[in-house]
């Protein structure tokens, strides 16, 4: 059997060679104003500043060759046209499209392919359903609060984006989230909540997710105990014909489809019901239009404007050629404080794979660990290691010129927003150049790469564009690595074994169950006095 494609590309070998002597950002005089102006790209209101990466024109050209050899752009076109991207050749696999772009292709030049057009039609129907539903909610004034029950993609995306736009909340509207099977999650979320004024959204693509179904039952029981009828308070977001697609149990059943991965569902009704309830449908539509604009940018053949492809190439350079094992995503925006947790799933579940799309074991590294907290908080937490640790951690930075609330205070001549921006710029320079010192403890080696996505303001449109940027960056990485970014077989084994341990709990209660010696050995340790 042939080796995987990635390590056989000509550009791969060229880049391996170039990586032996990467650009030295710490050499005095190397990081210049000219360099910072040169490594620059712009689209959808975002500016990508990447002169503080360890790259040269030669490296960028070789990376572009890599994108060409791997047909990254053609694959992105096929993805957005609705072709089957989620498959492993020669083995049983999901064999599905990955058409999350269709959930927002309502603006300029919708994708003309037949499959995409049909998906767009379905998605638009749901959006219309959402508009009517929310108009009724607004008119009837029955609901002030929303509880969202979901886990993984059905939780992280809607939650992170809700938090990012919370300053736009309609007066008196609040949203809480329940995700964990830990019963304390639901208990705490329901505390001091007026259930009679609460709309509950249950989100599960398959309608069978253990955590979500359990939490739904938990919350339904609370409604019944208060003499309320759950079927008058609950709505669902699920695929057609799942157990949750049942108007007997829900006020309304919104749909998404098997061609939308859980981690890509924020622009579907999973995000739609949450964002539209909290902020209004028009905010959700603005958000979609930003995502859609970045979708079109991802099809750009002119690399200088294809931001997600550029982002993917920089990550691949850092990961496969410079060998850095993790990436920190640090938004200098408190509103984005849970955005890294969402992108963590998007990247790590999509590209944390060990085989290529032909089922061959890989001979190179795929997704790195993605982690992060907002700046400047992160500076007071883990930046010690970023500057002076023994490992190099490339940073992906995000910042905005304006604050969202426009409420600021000038102290010593600068506003807090200006101080925030001063910090992100300062870090880029400090990490790149480092600093010599006679005291080894005050020595900074530099050559710690970073790049910045900068926009004017974190509006709904800008948030949508940011989300799609990361979605497509991840997809491009997968295309270049020749892996399937759209399945998640790796979560199955744990589920199966968890079921066997639940059977042991049942066996303790007298029910019959299959023996599972290792499970029993662990269970024994629950005997506390």
- Of residues 442 through 481, those in contact with its own copies by CB under 8 A are 442-445, 454-456
> How many alpha carbons lie under 13 Å from residue 469 in its C-beta half-sphere?
27
| Beta carbon nearer to its own copies, 133 or 486 | 486
Question: Under the criterion CB under 8 A, does residue 409 sit at the interface with its own copies?
Answer: yes
C-alpha–C-alpha distance, residues 45 and 43, integer Å: 5
- C-alpha span between 225 and 239 (Å, rounded): 30
- Residue 91 contacts residue 349 (beta carbons within 8 Å): no
Nearest residue (CB) to its own copies, 93 versus 196? 93
Site residues (CB under 8 A) for its own copies, limited to 265-324: none
Q: Is residue 139 at the binding interface for its own copies, with CB under 8 A as the rule?
A: no
- Give me the helix-helix angle, 307-316 and 460-481, nearest 10°: 50
- Our finding on whether 30 is near its own copies (CB under 8 A) is no
Instruction: Give the 3-state secondary structure of 423-440.
Output: HHHHHHHHHHHCECCCCH
Among 3, 74, 135, 385, binds its own copies (CB under 8 A): 385
- State phi, psi for 20 to the nearest 5 degrees: -65, -30
Q: What is the DSSP letter of 400?
A: E
- Asked whether position 388 contacts its own copies by CB under 8 A, the answer is yes
**Which of 170, 435, 436, 515 is the binder for its own copies (CB under 8 A)?**
435
Nearest CA-CA partner of 405 in 508, 334, 342, 338: 334
User: Per rule CB under 8 A, is residue 387 in the interface with its own copies?
Assistant: yes
Which residues carry out catalysis?
A: 349, 380, 495
Using CB under 8 A as the binding rule, whether residue 391 contacts its own copies is answered as yes
Contact 466, 398 (CB under 8 A): yes
- For the CB of residue 67, give the shortest distance to its own copies in the complex, in Å: 21
* Residue 144 within binding range of its own copies, rule CB under 8 A: no
Helices (H) and strands (E) in the chain, counts: 17, 15
Among 208, 243, 506, 515, binds its own copies (CB under 8 A): 506
Give the angle subtended at the CA of 470 by the CAs of 469 and 472, to the nearest 5°. Answer: 70
The label of the residue with tokens 């964002």 reads: 275
Smallest distance from its own copies to CB 166, Å: 6
CA distance linking residue 355 with residue 366, whole number of Å: 10
Hey, what are 76's tokens? 């992105």
Per CB under 8 A, the list member of 71, 166, 242, 289 interacting with its own copies is: 166
Shortest spacing between CB 318 and its own copies, in angstroms: 13
Least separation in angstroms between CB 486 and its own copies: 11
Cβ-in-10-Å burial (0-12, 13-18, 19+) of 406 comes to exposed
Smallest gap from Cβ 250 to its own copies, in A, equals: 19
The one segment of 17-25, 74-82, 118-126, 329-337 that binds its own copies by CB under 8 A:
329-337
The residues in 249-268 that bind its own copies, with binding defined as CB under 8 A, are: 262
Tell me how far apart the alpha carbons of residues 224 and 220 are, in angstroms, rounded to a whole number: 6
Q: Which of 203, 288, 420, 475 touches its own copies (CB under 8 A)?
A: 420
Which residues ranging from 331 to 370 are in contact with its own copies (CB under 8 A)? 332-335, 341, 344-345, 348-349, 351-355, 359-362, 364-369
**Given 301, 405, 512, 514, the residue binding its own copies (CB under 8 A):** 405
User: Considering beta carbons, is residue 135 or 497 the nearer one to its own copies?
Assistant: 497
Residue 143 near its own copies by CB under 8 A: no
Return the residue of 33, 140, 226, 302 that touches its own copies, per CB under 8 A.
33
DSSP bridge pairs for 370:
327
Site for its own copies in 208-237 (CB under 8 A): 209-211, 213-215, 217-218, 221
Contact flag: residue 421 with its own copies (CB under 8 A): yes
Among positions 48-67, residues that touch its own copies (CB under 8 A) are 49
Under the binding rule (CB under 8 A), the answer on residue 84 touching its own copies is no
Among 93, 144, 196, 300, binds its own copies (CB under 8 A): 93
Q: What is the dihedral of CA 456, 460, 461, 464, to 10 degrees?
A: 110
**Residue closer to its own copies (CB basis): 98 or 130:** 98
Using the rule CB under 8 A, which residue among 2, 184, 226, 302 binds its own copies?
Answer: 184
CA distance 216 to 213: 5
Residue (45 or 110) nearer to its own copies, CB: 45
Per DSSP, the residues of 440-458 read GGG-B-----EEEEEES--
Closer residue to its own copies, CB minimum distance, 88 or 294:
88
- For residue 238, what are the CA distances in angstroms to 269, 418, 489, 495? 9, 44, 20, 21
CA 297, distance to chain mean position in Å, is 18
Could you identify the residue written with the tokens 């790259």? Answer: 55
| Token digits of residue 123 | 């998605």
Instruction: State which residue, 167 or 197, has the beta carbon closest to its own copies.
Output: 167
């Amino acid at each position: 059997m042939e080796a995987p494609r990635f390590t056989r590309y000509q550009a791969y070998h060229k880049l391996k060679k170039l990586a032996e002597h990467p650009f030295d950002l710490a050499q005095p005089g190397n990081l210049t104003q000219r360099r910072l102006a040169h490594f620059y790209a712009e689209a959808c209101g975002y500016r990508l500043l990447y002169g503080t990466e360890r790259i040269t024109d030669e490296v960028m050209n070789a990376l572009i060759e890599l994108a060409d050899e791997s047909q990254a752009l053609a694959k992105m076109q096929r993805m957005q046209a609705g072709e089957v991207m989620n498959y492993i050749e020669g083995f049983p696999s999901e064999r599905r499209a990955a058409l999350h772009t269709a959930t927002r292709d309502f603006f300029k030049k919708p994708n003309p392919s037949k499959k995409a057009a049909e998906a767009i039609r379905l998605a638009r129907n749901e959006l219309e359903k959402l508009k009517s539903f929310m108009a009724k909610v607004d008119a009837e004034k029955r609901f002030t609060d929303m509880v969202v029950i979901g886990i993984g993609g059905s939780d992280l995306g809607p939650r992170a984006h809700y938090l990012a736009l919370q300053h736009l909340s309609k007066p008196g509207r609040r949203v809480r989230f329940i995700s964990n099977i830990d019963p304390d999650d639901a208990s705490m979320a329901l505390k001091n909540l007026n259930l009679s004024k609460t709309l509950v959204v249950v989100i599960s693509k398959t309608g069978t997710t253990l955590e979500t179904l359990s939490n739904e039952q938990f919350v339904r029981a609370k409604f019944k105990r208060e003499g309320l009828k759950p079927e008058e308070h609950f709505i669902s977001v699920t695929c057609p014909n799942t157990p949750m697609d049942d108007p007997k149990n829900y006020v309304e059943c919104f749909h998404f489809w098997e061609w939308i991965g859980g981690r890509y569902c924020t622009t579907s009704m999973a995000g739609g019901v949450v964002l539209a309830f909290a902020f209004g449908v028009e905010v959700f539509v603005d958000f979609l239009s930003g995502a859609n604009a970045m979708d079109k940018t991802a099809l750009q053949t002119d690399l200088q404007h294809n931001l997600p492809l550029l982002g993917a190439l920089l990550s691949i350079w850092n990961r496969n050629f410079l060998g850095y094992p993790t990436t920190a995503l640090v938004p200098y925006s408190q509103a984005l404080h849970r955005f890294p947790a969402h992108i963590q799933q998007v990247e790590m579940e999509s590209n944390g794979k060990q085989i290529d799309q032909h089922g061959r074991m890989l001979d190179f590294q795929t997704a790195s660990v993605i982690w992060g907290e907002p700046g400047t908080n992160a500076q007071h937490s883990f930046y010690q290691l970023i500057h002076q640790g023994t490992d190099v951690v490339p940073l992906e930075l995000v910042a905005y010129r304006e604050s969202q609330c426009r409420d600021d205070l000038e102290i010593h001549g600068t506003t807090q927003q200006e101080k925030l921006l001063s910090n992100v710029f300062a870090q880029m320079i400090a990490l790149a150049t480092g600093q010599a010192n006679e005291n080894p403890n005050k020595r900074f080696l530099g050559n710690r790469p970073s790049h910045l996505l900068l926009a004017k303001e974190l509006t709904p449109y800008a948030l949508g564009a940011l989300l799609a940027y990361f979605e497509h960056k991840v997809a491009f990485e997968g295309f270049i690595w020749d892996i399937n970014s759209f399945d998640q077989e790796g979560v199955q084994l744990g589920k199966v074994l968890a079921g066997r341990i639940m059977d042991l709990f049942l066996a303790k209660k007298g029910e019959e169950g299959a023996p599972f010696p290792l499970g029993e050995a662990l269970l024994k340790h629950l005997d506390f006095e």
